[in-house]
């Protein structure tokens, strides 16, 4: 997600529902709702110049948005992966950017570091290695791209632009090699500017460590880096591509994509190295414009959508963004978004290394409102594909094509998507084949559509579907004994810090979950104390209990009824917390997304000390909240703020506490807890929202991304 767009992150970008018309092509005439305009002539010229196409893809990370996918059961997990990565099946992604974890929140969660401390190294942590392996298994030609959002605090004593960070990236590449992964591209620090000498140092380190083939992308921020590329030859030689974020506007229509002259004249490939941040269905129209117009307006040769999949629970930021929704591993439910099929209109008909044909790309009739088209030719210099979007067109248009310059005059296969339709049957349809006559053919294109014309074959549309959504049933428990060291417990999502399976301490056998980050990280977002979340946002009355062991002075927490979470302003969360310290001090806390933490009850019990196991429990029954330590009730309060939500583990900053034997048992009375909470749609995963936080009578509410804001909190008055 873009830092540039924070002030706009709740901007509503309405999805227009456009009436799709019937395709008419190659003499097969359909019924049009409105008369076609005068025909537009387009020459497809294989001798045209044009830049090399680098690919379209998506981003895993920035952060935690792929977390729950690995916990899906088969066959659903494999089906989602097929839709994302398998050629000729779905999105068919040509590039995957993966976060280089840093134990710190990077939007919707934190991703674990391969080196929590200078002397620590574990190349099997997290799920990005697994995801890249799965992508490569399905498409050996997919390009891999690594980028950091934050880093462990030991790096450069808190300085990202340091030799430590260069060495950290080199060690990450060593981990990739252990996993049989060859990284193609490497970036610096996501949306945090750049340091010229650091990039030069990174280039030198890559060359001297056997990674000379890896290309550096700078600077995953804005276009300002182009000025230094142009003025500094050493910097220019270190950088292989210029990548900028949201060059067509943050969460915009992507109707216009602006690139400054300095970038255009740099001699470097120009990439939209992060775009999107849109709903997995609602972003389709913008993406359809942006992939085409990014090249027409700015000669950008790569387009990466953030993120790849929405595999996170609906209370976290940006819960439905991506190519697909996969937020319920316990039910196996998933949904493939319209964004997938828009991406497929480019990815299934091209390959990195193809060339754009500048003379065969542009706006229909020279008018942006009519739509756009881009043409690319294969490395065999014969096959070609032309992608046409008519998202904003007002009526049908006839396009007359003339094929020349050595391009194939064989059969043209036509695929289409009605980007205004919510019916999957209207997405990515092989509509007709056209046989050119005398090197020419015609096609009638309908408004609100995306088309691909191609002489290639092998395209396809997967047919698998997921089961219905359902809540995670209680009781739920986990002893953590079945996990490999360094992995994350099922369904447990890091928000800050790194919670992973280790051998238990304190004389206990088996495996426990330990918070692994021993210091404040180099952050990307608002810093909070480490915590991780698990469960269903609909849980209301229940008891969560767990064993806990503090390894040093500090505190540990059990969270309950955890809901909406802020990430960029305060890092606060709507939740109740039982906090206990090594001294025996305890408190029941009420926190919210504004960053306010209110003490509901407090006291002192026998000192918990360090390296000794204790049991904690937090019970919710209606408006009554009860805390227990080692089986004895220490406090009970009445509070009506939060009605339902997840459970979680938390620690003080740098506290490497351990947790074991998690148990969540249902209470009585169903979900009749507190009276205030979000209303989350079972099917959509979105919250009922008051647009723009309006307080005007008669304001119409809407479904929107759950963000924990006060305009998404509702009071039950019955």
Q: One of 99, 111, 128, 191 is an active-site residue; which one?
A: 191
The answer to whether residue 23 scores a pLDDT higher than 50 is no
Residue 29 has pLDDT above 70, yes or no: no
Alpha-helix runs per DSSP H in 117-162 = 128-138
User: What CATH number corresponds to the domain at position 632?
Assistant: 2.60.120.560
Q: How far is CA 684 from CA 402, 422, 643, in A?
A: 45, 13, 20
pLDDT-derived band at 37 (thresholds 50, 70, 90) equals low
- Token pair 């020279």 is found at 366
For the segment 394-402, the average pLDDT, to the nearest whole number, is: 98
Q: Is residue 426 part of a domain?
A: yes
Of 302, 20, 71, 26, nearest in space to 185 by CA: 302
Examine the domain organization and report whether 443 and 502 are in the same domain: no
pLDDT of res. 667:
96
Matching residue, tokens 């937090």:
618
Note whether 253 and 380 are same-domain residues: yes
- In the DSSP assignment, the letter for residue 711 is G
Query: Looking at the domain assignment, is residue 688 inside a domain?
Result: no
Give the pLDDT confidence of 164-190 residue by residue, as tens digits. 999 999 999 999 999 999 999 999 999
Do 264 and 393 belong together in one domain? yes
Average pLDDT of the residues in 32-45: 75
**Residue 465 pLDDT level (bands cut at 50, 70, 90):** very high
* Whether 191 is catalytic: yes
Q: Check whether 203 has a pLDDT greater than 60.
A: yes
Pair (108, 235) in one structural domain: yes
> What is the pLDDT confidence band of residue 699, given thresholds at 50, 70 and 90?
confident
Q: Over the stretch 557-576, which tens digit does the pLDDT of each residue have?
A: 999 999 999 999 999 999 99
Q: Tell me the pLDDT tens digit for each residue of 538-552.
A: 999 999 999 999 999
Q: State pLDDT tens for residues 223-241.
A: 999 999 999 999 999 999 9
Residue 465 placed within a domain: no
Output phi, psi for 98, to 5 deg.
-120, 140
Query: Are 260 and 364 within one domain?
Result: yes
**Confidence check: pLDDT of 5 > 60:** no
pLDDT of residue 6: 44
Long-range contacts of 122-125 (CB under 8 A, 24+ apart): 122/485, 122/486, 123/174, 123/175, 123/178, 123/179, 124/484, 124/486, 124/487, 125/101, 125/486, 125/487, 125/498, 125/500
Task: Determine contact, residues 707/8, Cβ cutoff 8 Å.
Answer: no
For the ranges 20-24, 197-201, 250-254, the lowest mean pLDDT is seen at: 20-24
Same domain, 386 and 491: no
Q: Say whether both 540 and 637 belong to one domain.
A: yes
- Determine the pLDDT at residue 711: 72
Known catalytic residue at 488: no
Considering the domain architecture, whether residues 448 and 323 belong to the same structural domain is answered as: yes
Residue 190: the pLDDT is 99
User: Is the residue at 686 inside a domain?
Assistant: no
Nearest to 562 by CA among 493, 500, 633, 462: 493
Do 616 and 558 form a contact (C-beta atoms < 8 A)?
Answer: yes
Cα gap 220→188, rounded to integer Å: 7
Whether the Cβ atoms of residue 517 and residue 497 lie closer than 8 Å to each other: yes
| 399 in the same domain as 537 | no
Residue appearing with tokens 């060291």: 485
What is the domain extent for residue 655?
A: 476-677
User: How confident is the model at residue 682, as a pLDDT?
Assistant: 61
Which residue in the list 99, 111, 128, 274 is annotated as catalytic?
Answer: 274
Is 353 within the bounds of a domain? yes
> How confident is the model at residue 704, as a pLDDT?
74
Task: State the chain's mean pLDDT as an integer.
Answer: 93
Q: Specify the higher pLDDT residue, 487 or 24.
A: 487
Check if the beta carbon of residue 298 is closer than 8 Å to that of residue 258.
yes
pLDDT at 8: 34
pLDDT digits (tens, 9 = 90+) for 291-332: 999 999 999 999 999 999 999 999 999 999 999 999 999 999
Q: List, for residues 704-717, the tens digit of each pLDDT value.
A: 766 555 577 776 65
* CA pair distance 436, 409, nearest whole angstrom: 6
Mean pLDDT of 36-54: 93
Confidence class for position 464, pLDDT limits 50, 70, 90 = very high
Domain identity same for 585 and 444: no
How far apart CA 299 and CA 702 sit, in angstroms, is 37
Kindly state whether residue 670 falls inside one of the protein's structural domains.
Answer: yes
Peptide bond into 63 cis (omega under 30): yes
**108 part of a folded domain:** yes
Cα(11)–Cα(128) distance, integer angstroms: 30
Question: Is pLDDT of 674 > 70?
Answer: no
Does 61 score more than 50 pLDDT?
Answer: yes
> Residue 354 sits in a domain of what CATH number?
3.20.20.80
Axis crossing angle, helix 128-138 with helix 163-178, rounded to the nearest 10: 50
Distance CA 98, CA 63 (A): 10
pLDDT digits (tens, 9 = 90+) for 641-672: 999 999 999 999 999 999 999 999 999 865 54
pLDDT one-digit tens code per residue, 618-646: 999 999 999 999 999 999 999 999 999 99
DSSP for 410-436, please give it: S-EEEEEEETT---GGGSSEEEEEE--
Note whether residue 251 is domain-resident. Answer: yes
Percentage above 90 pLDDT, the chain:
88
Q: Is the confidence at residue 217, as pLDDT, over 80?
A: yes
Q: Same domain for 185 and 310? A: yes
Residue 192: pLDDT band (50, 70, 90) is very high
User: Is pLDDT at 695 greater than 80 in this prediction?
Assistant: no
What are the distances in angstroms from CA 535 to CA 78, 514, 707? 23, 18, 17
Instruction: Assess whether 508 and 394 both reside in one domain.
Output: no
Q: Quote the percentage of the chain above a pLDDT of 70.
A: 91
pLDDT band, very low/low/confident/very high, at 680 (cuts 50, 70, 90)? confident
Residues 310 and 65: beta-carbon distance below 8 Å: yes
Number of compact structural domains in the chain: 2
The three-state secondary structure class of 249 is coil
Last residue of a domain, one of 401, 423, 454: 454
């Amino acid at each position: 997600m873009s830092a540039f767009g924070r002030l706009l992150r709740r901007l509503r970008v309405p999805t227009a529902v456009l009436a799709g018309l019937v395709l008419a092509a190659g003499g097969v005439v359909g019924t049009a709702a409105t008369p076609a305009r005068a025909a537009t002539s387009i020459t497809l010229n294989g001798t045209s110049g044009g830049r090399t196409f680098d690919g379209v893809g998506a981003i895993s990370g920035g952060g935690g948005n792929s977390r729950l996918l690995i916990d899906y059961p088969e066959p659903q997990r494999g089906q989602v992966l097929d839709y994302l990565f398998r050629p000729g099946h779905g999105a068919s992604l040509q590039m995957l950017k993966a976060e280089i974890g840093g134990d710190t929140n990077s939007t919707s969660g934190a991703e674990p570091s391969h080196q929590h401390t200078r002397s620590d190294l574990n190349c099997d942590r997290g799920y990005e290695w697994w995801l890249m392996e799965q992508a490569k298994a399905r498409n050996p030609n997919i390009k891999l791209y690594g980028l950091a959002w934050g880093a462990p605090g030991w790096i450069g004593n808190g300085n990202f632009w340091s030799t430590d960070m260069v060495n950290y990236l080199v060690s990450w590449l060593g981990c990739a090699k252990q996993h049989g992964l060859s990284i193609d591209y490497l970036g610096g620090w996501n949306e945090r500017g750049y340091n010229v000498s650091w990039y030069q140092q990174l280039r030198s380190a890559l060359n001297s460590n056997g990674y000379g083939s890896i290309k550096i992308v700078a600077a995953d921020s804005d276009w300002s880096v182009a000025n230094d590329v142009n003025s500094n030859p050493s910097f220019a030689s270190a950088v292989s591509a210029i990548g900028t974020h949201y060059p067509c506007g943050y969460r915009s229509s992507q109707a216009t994509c602006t690139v400054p002259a300095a970038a255009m004249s740099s001699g470097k490939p120009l990439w939209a190295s992060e775009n999107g941040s849109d709903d997995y269905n609602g972003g389709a129209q913008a993406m359809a414009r942006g992939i085409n117009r990014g090249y027409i307006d700015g000669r950008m040769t790569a387009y990466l959508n953030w993120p790849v999949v929405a595999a996170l629970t609906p209370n976290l930021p940006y819960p439905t963004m991506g190519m697909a929704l996969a937020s319920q591993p316990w039910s196996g439910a998933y949904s493939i978004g319209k964004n997938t099929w828009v991406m497929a209109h480019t990815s299934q008909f091209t390959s990195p290394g193809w060339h754009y044909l500048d003379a065969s790309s542009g706006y229909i009739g020279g008018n942006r409102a009519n739509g756009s088209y881009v043409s690319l030719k294969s490395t065999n210099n014969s096959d070609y594909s032309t992608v046409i979007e008519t998202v904003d067109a007002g009526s049908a248009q006839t396009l007359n094509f003339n094929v020349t310059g050595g391009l194939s005059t064989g059969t043209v296969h036509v695929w289409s998507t009605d980007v205004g339709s919510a019916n999957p049957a209207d997405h990515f349809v092989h509509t007709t084949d056209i046989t050119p006559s005398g090197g020419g053919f015609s096609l009638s294109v309908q408004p609100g559509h995306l088309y691909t014309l191609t002489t290639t074959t092998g395209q396809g549309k997967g047919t698998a579907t997921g089961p219905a959504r359902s809540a995670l049933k209680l009781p739920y428990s986990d002893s953590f004994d079945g996990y490999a060291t360094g992995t994350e417990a099922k369904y447990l999502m890091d928000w800050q810090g790194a919670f992973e399976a280790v051998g238990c301490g304190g004389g206990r056998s088996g495996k426990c979950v330990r918070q692994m980050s021993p210091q404040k990280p180099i952050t990307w977002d608002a810093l909070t104390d480490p915590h991780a979340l698990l469960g269903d946002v609909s849980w209301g009355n229940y008891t969560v209990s767990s064993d806990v062991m503090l390894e040093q002075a500090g505190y540990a927490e059990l969270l309950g009824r955890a809901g909406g979470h802020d990430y960029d302003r305060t890092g606060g969360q709507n939740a109740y917390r039982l906090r206990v310290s090594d001294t025996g001090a305890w408190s029941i806390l009420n926190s919210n997304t504004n960053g306010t933490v209110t003490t509901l009850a407090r006291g002192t019990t026998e000192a918990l000390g360090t390296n000794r196991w204790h049991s904690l429990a937090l019970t919710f029954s209606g408006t009554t909240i009860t805390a227990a330590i080692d089986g004895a009730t220490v406090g009970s309060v009445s509070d009506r703020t939060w009605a339902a939500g997840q459970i979680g583990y938390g620690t003080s900053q740098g506290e490497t506490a351990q947790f074991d034997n998690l148990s969540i048992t249902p209470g009585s009375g169903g979900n009749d807890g507190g009276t205030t909470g979000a209303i989350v749609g079972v099917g959509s995963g979105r919250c009922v929202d008051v647009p723009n936080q309006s307080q005007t009578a008669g304001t119409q509410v809407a479904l929107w991304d759950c963000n924990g804001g006060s305009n998404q909190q509702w009071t039950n008055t019955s």
